Chains A and B, each alone.
Chain A
Amino acid sequence: MGRPSIIKSEIAIEASGLTRYYGSKPIVRQIDFAVPRGSVTGLLGLNGTGKTTTIRMLVGLLAPTRGRSAVLGIDSQQLSPSDRARIGFAVEGHFLYNWMSVAACERFQSGTFPRWDSRLFRDTIDRFGISLDAKVSQLSRGQRAGVSLALTLSSLPELLILDDPALGLDPVNRRALNETILEFVQSGDRTALLSSHLLDDVERIADRILIMVNGRIAVDCPLESLVDRVSCCTVELDDDTTKLGQIPRLIHARRVGKRCVLTLVDFDSQTQDALQRIGGENLSRNPAAFDEAAIAYLSRSRGSESFFTPSQP
C-alpha cells in the first residue's frame, strides 16, 4: 500500500475516526478534527482525556486502534525521515539526555536533522538564560523546556507539535516560551499544535481551540467562536438540581451561594423557555470569558468538580 498522496491543502493535521484503546478502555474515541495551515491550535483537556495519546498517534509514535490521521498530508503511520524533519515535536516532560551538555544536545539534534539553524538555537537558549556549556542534568525545569524548544524549533519545521510545553514553568519562562512560539509561527507559513493546561497561555497564542472531553472532541473552532457562542447565566434555583437536565445545550452548572452559574452554548429562545419552565429566574447573562468557557467543557470530564454535570446520552 503506497503512501496516500494528498494534494497540498490548507489542512496541516487531520484526524478521522481516530481511536485508541489501552487494554479494554477507549482513551481516544472516534475523533475527527482538522488543523488549518498557519494556525496556532491549542489542545485542551484534563489529565487522562487523551491529549498525549492523540499527539503520539499524530506523529506516528503510537498505532491507532482504528481510524486514521495525517500530518502535512502524510499518513501518520507512514512518516518518512524527511517527513519527520518537517515536523517539530517536543515531547511531554522535555525529555533530554542528562549526560549531555547543551552544546552536545545541539550537535546530536543537528546531526540527525537535514536543516538546522544554529543561530536560532543560540537565540532561543539565550532567551531562557542558558549557556551552551551547561549540563542538562543541572538545568532547571524551565531551562530544560527552553533547550527542548530550541532543539525543536532549530530544525525549522513546517509544523510544530508541542506536548504540554509549559509544564512546570515559572511565569518568566512561560512568557519566553510563548513569545518564542509566536515569533516562530509568524516567521513563515508554519502551523503549531500545542497541548496545555494553562488557559492564559493558550488564549494568548492560539487562534484555534480543540477541547477533548473523555476522549472525544467537544470543541473544534476558532478561539473567537468559542467565546462568542458560550455564555454564562446566573439563575436562582431551589435545591432540586435535577431540573437542570431539561435545559438544552447546558455545558456545566455550578452553585455559588444560592445562585447557580450555568454555562451554555448557543443560548437562544429555546434555552430561555427551558429556564422559565424549571422556575429559574434569570438574573443575568454574559458572554463567557475564554477560561470560563474552557473550564466548563473541561469540567465535564470530572463530575466531582461540579454539583451537576449533565449525564451523557
Chain B
Amino acid sequence: MNAYLFKELRETARWLPLAWLIFAGLLYVALPQMSNLYLTQGLADRLVFQTAIGGSLVAFGLGLAQFMLDQRSSARAFLVHRSLTPSQLFRGKLLVGLGIYALGVGGPLMLLTLYLSWISDRFPCTPFQTIPAWVISIFCTAFYFAACLVSCSNARWFGTRCFPIVGSILIVSGACVILAPELLWIVALILCLPAFGLIAMIRAASESFVFASSAPSPTANVPIGWERRFILTITSIAIVAAIGGTFRSLLTQQSRTLSTYYDLKIDPSGDPNLVVYQNTPDINEPRKLVQSIRYTMENGQLLSEESTKPNAKLNDRSCYFINRPKGYAELIFQWNPNYLGQRSGQNYFQMNNGFVHSYGLSFQGWRLDHVIGANGMTENGRYPSEPFSGRVRQIIDYGNHANGPQPENPSTNAIPRMHIVDGDGIVEIELDKKQVRRIGNLPGSQWGWGTSSPSLFQGHQAPRYLYFFLDQQIHVYASTARQGDIESVQDELPTYKFDSKIDVPSEFKSGVFQFWFGATGHYTFFENMLIQVENEPKRPGYRIASSSPGNSKLKSYEFPIPKSLITKDTEVSPIGIGLLGAIVPPVAMFPYAVFLPFLGVFPYPYYSIPDHIGWLVGALVLQIAIAMILAYLAAQQRGLSARSRTLWLILSALLGPASSLAILAIYPECFREPCPRCDKRRRVENELCEHCGKAWDKPADEGIEIIETSSNAINEAVLA
C-alpha cells in the first residue's frame, strides 16, 4: 500500500504549485479590491466566494488529474490488477488527493488566517472571519468526487456524464448557508443538507471507481447504488428547473411582471411608516411609491416582547458568527476610539495630534496615503496645516476616490471635496481650493447617516441623508447629489442641505444615536436600537428592538405588514404564475398551491396566488401528465422492470419532467435482440428471455470448428 501511496503522491503532488497558483492567486487578486476588507462581514463573504471558486477549481482539477488518467483502458488494467482491492485503491487516491487539496487550498487559507491573527490586535479584524471559508473549502471537495464520477462514468461526454458537476455546484451553493444571518445552530442544521449531499457524492464516487468498467454500455451488470441515484435525480431536477426558470424569466420579462416591495421610513413626526414601492422599467426611476402606512406607537398597534439575549459572548466583531448586530459598533470603537471609519477604500483615523490620517489597505499592509488638517490641507506625511480642534466623528464622503490618492501621486490635490462630521456638525472641505465650510452647526449632537438605497450612491460612497439628534429631534440633511444609475453620478459630488426635522419617540431618547447599515440590508442598526426586516412567511413585518447601554436584554416592537398589502398585486402576469406551476416540481408546488393560501400565509411575496390558482393548478396538472408520459417513455427506452417503471411513474408525478432525465442519467442504455422463441425483443444482458424464459441459443456451428474440450466439464466447473 505504501508503494501505491507513494506513486499517487508522486503523480499528484506535481499539481500542487498549480493549485497554489490558482487559489492563492484568486485570494491575492480579489481581496485587496474589496472596499471594506476587514471591517464588516464583507471579508467573510468575499473569502467564501473566492474559496468556493478557487477550491472548486482546484478540487475538480485534482480529481480529473487523479482519476481521468487512470481510467484509460491500459492504465486502469495495470493499476487494478494487483493485490489491492479497488476500494483500497480508491481510498489511497482519496488520501493523497485530499491531502494535496488540503495543502493547495488550506495552505493559503492558513497563511491568511495567521495574517489576520497577527494584525487583529491593531485592526478590526479577526482570524475567525476565515471560518466560513474553511467550511466551504471542505464542501468544495464535492468537485473532487464529481471529477471521479465524471472520469469513471461510461456515459458519453455530451450526454449525462457531466451531471455530477451540477450536483457539486448544488452542494457548494447549499453550503454557502454558512453566511446566512441566522443563529449558529440553525446554520449548522441547514448545513446538514449539503453535508448529506457530500457524503452521497463520496459514496457514489467510490462505487463508480470500484465498478468502473472503462467500456461502453451495456453495464446493467454493474450495480448502481442509491447514492448515484440520489445525486443524479437531484441534479436532473436542478437542470430542469434551471432551464425552465430561464425560460420563465425570459417570458415574464417580456410580460413586464411588476413586483412590489416594502421598506420602513421614519416620517418628520418621528413615526415609522411602512412604504410600499413598485418596480418600474424606467432605469431613472426604478421604483415608485404606491402606498404608505403610518404606524403610531401610542394606539396599541405595537406588540412588545422580550427578545432573546443578545449574543454577548461572541466577540469576533464582524464575522458572520456574530450576526447579532449589537456588538459591532461598540467593538469598532473599543478597538480604536479614534477610528473614524472607512470610505471608498480609505480607512480614517484621528491621531492624537488632531490630524486625520487616511490609510489605504492592501494585503501588503497599511499605507499612509495622506494627512488631513482642519484647513483642508493634505500633504503626505507632513503637517503643514492646523489640526482639528475636537473629535472628528466620521468621514462622510470622499470625492474622486476612483483614482485614489497615493503618497507619490501629485494628484492628491485634485481630490475635489470631502465631508466630515465633527463635534460641531458637518464640515465640507474643498481640498483643491483648500477651503473649509461648515454646513451645519449642531454642537454636541449625536449623529448618524443613512440612505434609502445605498447602492445608488455607491459611486460616491456617500450617504443620502445625515441625521443629527438634537433636542429630541432628528435634523435631517440631504445630499444634493441626484439619485440615478451609478455611472451617471460618478463625477457628481454631493453637498448637504438641511431637509427636515423629525420628532423622536420618547422610547428612543436615551443613548447615542447612530445609524449603521448591515451588509445584508435586513438590518438598520442604531447604537441602542435596530430595525430588522422580518421576512418570515408567518410573521411578515418589521421589528424594532432597543436596549439601553449595559442592559443585555432587548426590548422589541413589531410592525406587522398587512397581508392584504402583500398578497395584493393586480399587475402580476398570469403567465408568470402558470410557468411557476409548469417548472417547479409538483411536490414543491402543492404546499404552496393548495395549503398555504387557505392558511392565510402568502406563498410567494410578489405574487397573488389566489387570483391565479386556476393557472397554477392547470399548469401543474399539465406538468404531471407530461412528466408521466416522458418517464414512461424513458423507462421503456432503458428497459426498466415493471416494478421500477411503476416507481418512476409515481416519482415523475412528484418530481416533474426531471424524473425522465434522471432515468436516462441513472440507467445504462438497454439493447435488445429478438427472441427466437417468442419473437419479442429481449434484453441482451439477461440470461433468460424476460417474456418466455428461453435461454440464449449457442451460435450455430459452421462445420469448421475444432473444439477438443468437453463443454460439459467446463460448465460443471464454472457453475460449481
Contacts and interface: CB of A to CB of B under 8 A. Distances in A.
Interface of A: 4-7, 9, 11, 14-17, 19, 21-24, 26, 29-30, 32-34, 56, 59, 61-66, 68-70, 73, 80-82, 84-85, 87, 89, 91-93, 95-97, 99-100, 107-114, 216-222, 225-226, 229-230, 248-251, 265, 297, 310, 312-313
Given A9-B717, A65-B685, A310-B702, A34 B3 contact: no
Nearest to B685: A65
B714 interface: yes
Nearest to A20: B215
B685 A70 contact: no
A91 B74 contact: yes
A29 B700 CA distance: 11
A112 B74 contact: no
B83 A14 contact: no
B219 interface: yes
Given A6-B717, A6-B720, A16-B715, A111 B3 contact: yes
A26 B698 CA distance: 13
A110 B83 CA distance: 10
Given A17-B696, A62-B215, A313-B702, A112 B1 contact: yes
Given A21-B671, A220-B708, A112 B82 contact: yes
A201 B241 CA distance: 61
Contacts of A217: 705, 707
Contacts of A9: 717
A239 to B, nearest CB: 24
Nearest to B211: A63
Interface size class on chain B is 35 or more
A180 to B, nearest CB: 19
A86 to B, nearest CB: 9
Interface in B679-715: 684-687, 696, 698-700, 702-711, 713-715
Contacts of B698: 17, 30, 32
B80 interface: yes
B274 to A, nearest CB: 65
Given A107-B3, A112-B3, A97 B11 contact: yes
Contacts of A219: 705-707
B222 interface: yes
B506 interface: no
Contacts, number: 179
B706 A64 contact: no
B711 to A, nearest CB: 5
Given A22-B216, A111-B2, A81 B7 contact: no
Given A22-B216, A30-B698, A249-B703, A63 B671 contact: no
Contact of B77 (A15, A89, A225, A251): A89
Given A69-B718, A95-B74, A111 B10 contact: no
A100 B78 CA distance: 14
B83 A63 contact: no
Contacts of B218: 21, 23, 65
A233 to B, nearest CB: 14
B4 A29 contact: no
A190 B696 CA distance: 34
Contacts of A89: 77, 81
B716 to A, nearest CB: 10
B221 A63 contact: yes
A56 B76 CA distance: 11
Given A21-B218, A34-B714, A220 B706 contact: yes
The 9 lowest CB-CB distance pairs between A and B, nearest first, are: A111-B3, A95-B74, A221-B708, A81-B83, A85-B83, A112-B82, A91-B77, A95-B78, A16-B718
Nearest to B687: A66
Contact of B709 (A34, A65, A97, A108): A34
B646 interface: no
B402 interface: no
B684 A14 contact: no
Interface of B: 1-4, 6-7, 10-11, 74-78, 80-85, 88, 211, 213-219, 221-222, 669, 671, 684-687, 696, 698-700, 702-711, 713-715, 717-720
B213 A63 contact: yes
A310 B83 CA distance: 46
A4 to B, nearest CB: 6
Contact of A312 (B83, B702, B718): B702
A61 B708 contact: no
Contacts of A99: 10-11
A251 B221 contact: no
B713 A34 contact: yes
A61 B717 contact: no
Given A85-B83, A95-B78, A70 B717 contact: yes
Given A61-B81, A63-B213, A219-B707, 5 more contacts: A70-B718, A80-B85, A81-B82, A84-B81, A89-B77
28 contacts: A4-B719, A4-B720, A6-B718, A6-B720, A15-B718, A16-B718, A19-B696, A22-B215, A23-B216, A23-B217, A23-B218, A32-B709, A56-B215, A61-B213, A64-B221, A81-B83, A81-B88, A87-B81, A89-B77, A95-B75, A95-B78, A111-B2, A112-B84, A216-B699, A217-B705, A218-B702, A218-B704, A229-B706
* Chief secondary structure at chain B's binding surface: loop
A226 B216 contact: no
Contacts of B711: 32
Contacts of B1: 111-112
Contacts of A95: 74-75, 77-78
Contacts of B217: 23
Contacts of A110: 3
A91 B78 contact: yes
Nearest to A251: B704
B108 to A, nearest CB: 27
Nearest to B77: A91
Contacts of B696: 17, 19, 30, 66
A219 B717 CA distance: 21
Given A21-B684, A61-B77, A108 B3 contact: yes
B705 to A, nearest CB: 5
Nearest to A89: B81
A108 B7 CA distance: 7
A69 to B, nearest CB: 7
A63 B222 contact: yes
Contacts of A70: 717-718
A9 B700 CA distance: 29
B82 A250 contact: no
Contacts of A62: 213-215
Contact of B720 (A7, A96, A226): A7
Given A34-B713, A85-B83, A97-B11, A92 B74 contact: yes
B406 to A, nearest CB: 48
A249 B718 contact: no
Contact of A225 (B83, B699, B706): B706
Contacts of B715: 16, 32
Contacts of B10: 99
B704 A30 contact: no
Nearest to A16: B718
A16 to B, nearest CB: 5
A93 B85 contact: no
A113 B82 contact: yes
Given A70-B717, A95-B74, A265-B704, A82 B83 contact: yes
A250 B704 contact: yes
Contact of B718 (A14, A92, A250): A14
A99 B11 CA distance: 8
A61 B78 CA distance: 10
